[in-house]
Structure 1
Amino acid sequence: MAGKIVVALGGNALQKQGEASAHAQQDVADETARQLVPLILAGYQLVIVHGNGPQVGNIVLHEEAINTPEVPTFPLDTCVAMSQGAIGFWLQQALIDEFSRRQMKSVASTVVTQMVVDANDPAFSNPTKPIGVFYQTEAEA
């Protein structure tokens, strides 16, 4: 075994500019898997971690668009878990498909994670990592 590699993918790396559909992001996951599998073939074990800023932002926009008393919005933490699950599923499925294509007996798993943070952390008063869509003008928003 050659060792372990942690592969960190930003949320923006998981979609092409202007192509935020699930299908388009699955295409990016497929290409990512094609690029990563040679590392596995070389004997490395991979741990893939990813961001989700644009994806969770889109989920929040969907939630806000359908917010009614009958269909209330999910809280942000749930939207984050939804995006983690979707991205993990796309990457896992892409890897499994690539393993099959190459007749490999490898497996892939997805783990949805949680973080414990200090509610009094001063960083909360100065957020630096936005989620969602970026608009050029106020009129676009």
Structure 2
Amino acid sequence: MNVRGTLEPDEVETFLEETTVPVRLSCRTPGGRLWMVSLWFRFREGVLECATSADADVVSFLAADSHVAFEVSTNDPPYRGVRGNGTATISPDPEKEVLGDLLERYLGTTESDLADRLLDPDRREVRIEIEPETVAGWDYTDRMGGGA
């Protein structure tokens, strides 16, 4: 992974491991138009991992063209984030292992109505793995005085 911007590689990794906002994932439709979707993610071993329904539009889009751009950034000042590009791969996740971890990461539990719907045994789930090629990280804490 080629790291640019004001964050060091270890700071990029720490930010992606600790930040719990969705990744904004950009790809192309088979017709060549741009498409963006927000997905929960986890960062493990240099890869962003997401989960979604096997029937989601983004799955067919990524199957047609695996090149992506992405951004993970805070929504409140002081703004910090990581953006980049890379390649996505899709694989089945019949045990919903990634989804279960993401429910714990974002909601703190798999005991909710949402979790019950997403973990339904009849729902087909896939794992999207994003291998970053180039990333740029930033942290505006100093210039923004630590917050709003």
Could you state the TM-score of these two structures normalised by the residue count of structure 1? Answer: 0.25
**Structure with bigger gyration radius:** 1
Could you state the TM-score of these two structures normalised by the residue count of structure 2? Answer: 0.25
> Higher relative contact order by CA 8 Å / sep ≥ 6: 1 or 2?
2
Instruction: Decide which structure has greater helix share.
Output: 1
